[in-house]
């Protein structure tokens, strides 16, 4: 069986920690989309580690970590990250596998990303500039280099052809960047990548599934950044939703079991684009300060706001979420009152549906107020110890979404996560 774990908001829901927590229940952790735009933060023996390309199961000996074909892979980031995990005694040659159909990010993709963002002016997406968009464009445009191509004897020719095409495109943008240093790093990293386990991902994973192994597909970014269903065009370039697991790993839908959706107890977004519950006041600044809401990949301050049940409900529907994990609940400890967005007023009309047009539309969130708990939830060792106003908050969200909140993370530590028994729907 394949379970899926993904973010339901705009990314940064704390998936890395949750995957790391669930990892011992699985034999395989597989990334199925996204690239080095992701930043999954883990704590290993008290040390903070941020992973961008390697699946979050890497610190568990005996767990297979697979980078699936749906990912875009930057060899330079991968090499750096392999060095980083090696310092913790991880032998990537043993438990990291890379699908040969994975598309490769080349230096000119990063330059094109920059050029494209610059050309958008005020409408810029706030891309992480890691080359994600251009790499996926080359995939669907049928131009890209895949990991399997790195092993071909004519790799240099394929690379030069693609590079020439990109240089032409950069010329149209009137954009110049000295990519010589990037290229040197790239070729060194490619040589390193070639020494890793490059496999046929689809046979690799299906054989493991047939052998009865348990797989956890680890999502990156969040559902509201999905290229089809997110707040287009302010999205990333991949399918971040559960459907992406099938195409991103090469497995059939019938193998999918649990779909575990991760949401923060509030909401954040980094980069541009609509964010109906965004707070521009002191409360927003407090969420950012207490929640350390700064991008793990870019260091940018994250925009903060109240939890948005309209967006969450939509994400639960699109993904078929079977259980929820709520993270960063401790960040709300000091708030005397909390708001929960239950509907939107769209051009003066109330709706609980996600509108097609969020950009440029007049959207005002409808809130329901909840009492804060004035208690350090980090002190709770079992979910029964959670204060009653927090239980009310959980229960309301659970009833609205019609999905159980099975785990509550109450601090950044590896052990700070509480199992929450299923509750009756009211």
Tell me which residues are annotated as active site: 12, 40
* 68 binds Mg ion, rule: CB under 5 A: no
- Angle at the Cα of 34 from the Cα atoms of 226 and 209, rounded to 5 degrees: 100
Binds 271, which of ligand IMP, Mg ion, none (CB < 5 to 8 A, cut-off by type)? Answer: ligand IMP
Per CB under 6 A, the segment of 61-69, 122-130, 344-352, 390-398 that binds ligand IMP is: 122-130
Q: Among 7, 14, 36, 39, which residue sits at the site for Mg ion (rule: CB under 5 A)?
A: 39
What does 310 bind: Mg ion, ligand IMP, none (CB cut-off 5 to 8 Å by kind)?
none
* Binding residues for ligand IMP restricted to 255-284, rule: CB under 6 A: 270-272
Q: Determine if 3 is a binding residue for Mg ion (CB under 5 A).
A: no
* Residue 231 sits in the site that holds ligand IMP (CB under 6 A): no
- By the 8 A CB rule, do 49 and 16 touch? no
User: Number of C-alpha atoms within 13 angstroms, CB side, residue 41?
Assistant: 17
Q: Among 101, 46, 109, 42, which residue's Cα sits nearest to residue 74?
A: 109
Residues 28-47, interacting with ligand IMP (CB under 6 A): 37-39
Query: 218: which residues sit within 8 A by CB, 6+ positions away?
Result: 5, 6, 15, 19, 29, 30, 31, 32, 40, 55, 56, 57
Cβ proximity to ligand IMP: between 107 and 133 the closer is 133
Decide which of ligand IMP, Mg ion, none touches 255; Cβ closer than 5 to 8 Å per partner kind: none
81 lies in the site for ligand IMP, by CB under 6 A: no
CB 274 within 8 A of CB 233: no
Closer Cβ to Mg ion, 296 or 331, answer by number: 296
Site for ligand IMP contains 342 (CB under 6 A): no
Distance CA 113, CA 376 (A): 43
Rule CB under 6 A: say whether 12 interacts with ligand IMP.
yes
CB of 100 to Mg ion, least distance (A): 27
Range in contact with Mg ion (rule: CB under 5 A) among 7-15, 199-207, 243-251, 394-402: 7-15
* Contact with ligand IMP (CB under 6 A) among 6, 11, 68, 266: 11
Distance CA 361, CA 357 (A): 6
> Residue 413, by phi and psi: left (phi above 0), alpha (psi -120 to 50) or beta?
beta
- Is 319 a binder of ligand IMP (CB under 6 A)? no
CB-nearest residue to ligand IMP: 271
User: Considering the complex, what minimum distance in angstroms separates the CB of residue 224 from ligand IMP?
Assistant: 10
296 binds Mg ion (CB under 5 A): yes
327 binds, among ligand IMP, Mg ion, none (CB under 5 to 8 A by kind): none
* Shortest distance (Å) from residue 117 CB to ligand IMP: 8
Q: Closer CB to Mg ion, residue 39 or residue 248?
A: 39
Residues in Cβ contact with 343 at an 8 Å cutoff, skipping those fewer than 6 apart: 310, 350, 351, 352, 365, 366
Phi, psi of 71 (to 5 degrees): -85, 155
Among 41, 127, 242, 322, contact with ligand IMP (rule: CB under 6 A): 127
Contacting residue, 69, 108, 236, 263, with ligand IMP by CB under 6 A: 236
Considering only residues 352 through 381, tell me which ones interact with Mg ion, judged by CB under 5 A: none
Closest CA to 22 of 54, 57, 52: 57
Q: Counting contacts by CB under 6 A, is residue 109 touching ligand IMP?
A: no
Pairwise CA distance, residues 282 & 89, whole Å: 43
Q: Shortest gap between Cβ of 424 and Mg ion (angstroms)?
A: 34
With CB under 6 A as the contact rule, the residue among 130, 255, 288, 420 that binds ligand IMP is 130
Which stretches of the chain bind Mg ion, using CB under 5 A?
Answer: 12, 39, 296
Which stretches of the chain bind ligand IMP, using CB under 6 A?
Answer: 10-12, 37-39, 125-128, 130, 132-133, 220-221, 225, 234, 236, 270-272
């Amino acid at each position: 069986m394949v379970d899926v774990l993904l973010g339901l908001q705009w990314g940064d829901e704390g998936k890395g920690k949750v995957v790391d927590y669930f990892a011992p229940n699985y034999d395989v952790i597989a990334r199925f989309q996204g690239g080095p735009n992701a930043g999954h933060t883990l704590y290993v023996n008290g040390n903070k580690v941020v992973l961008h390309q390697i699946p979050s199961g890497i610190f568990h000996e005996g767990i297979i970590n697979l980078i699936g074909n749906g990912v875009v892979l930057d060899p330079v980031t991968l090499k750096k990250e392999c060095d980083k995990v090696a310092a913790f005694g991880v032998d990537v040659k043993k438990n990291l596998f890379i699908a040969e159909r994975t598309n490769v990010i080349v230096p000119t993709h990063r330059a094109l990303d920059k050029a494209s963002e610059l050309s958008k002016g005020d409408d810029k997406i706030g891309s992480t500039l890691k080359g994600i968009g251009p790499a996926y464009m080359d995939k669907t445009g049928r131009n890209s280099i895949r990991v399997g191509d790195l092993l071909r004897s004519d790799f240099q020719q394929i690379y030069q052809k693609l590079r020439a095409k990109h240089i032409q495109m950069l010329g149209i943008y009137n954009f110049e960047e000295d990519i010589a240093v990037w290229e040197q790093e790239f070729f060194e990293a490619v040589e390193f990548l070639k020494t890793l386990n490059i496999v046929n991902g689809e046979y690799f994973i299906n054989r493991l599934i047939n052998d009865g192994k348990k797989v956890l597909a680890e999502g990156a970014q969040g559902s509201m950044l999905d290229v089809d269903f997110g707040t287009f065009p302010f999205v990333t370039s991949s399918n971040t939703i559960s459907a992406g697991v099938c195409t991103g790993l090469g497995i059939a839908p019938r193998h999918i079991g649990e779909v575990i959706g991760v949401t923060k107890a509030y909401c954040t977004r980094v980069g541009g684009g609509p964010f109906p519950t965004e707070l521009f006041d002191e409360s927003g600044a407090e969420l950012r300060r207490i929640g350390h809401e700064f991008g793990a990949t870019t260091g940018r301050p994250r925009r903060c706001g109240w939890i948005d049940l309209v967006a969450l409900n939509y994400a639960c529907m699109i993904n078929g979420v079977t259980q929820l994990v709520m993270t960063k609940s401790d960040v709300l400890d000091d708030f005397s009152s909390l708001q929960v967005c239950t509907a939107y007023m769209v051009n003066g009309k109330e709706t609980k549906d996600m509108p097609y047009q969020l950009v440029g539309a007049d959207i005002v969130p409808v809130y329901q107020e909840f009492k804060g708990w004035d208690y350090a939830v980090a002190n709770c060792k079992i979910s029964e110890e959670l204060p009653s106003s927090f239980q009310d908050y959980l229960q309301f969200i659970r009833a609205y979404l019609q999905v159980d909140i099975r785990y509550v993370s109450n601090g950044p530590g590896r052990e700070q996560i509480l199992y929450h028994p299923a509750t009756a729907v009211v």
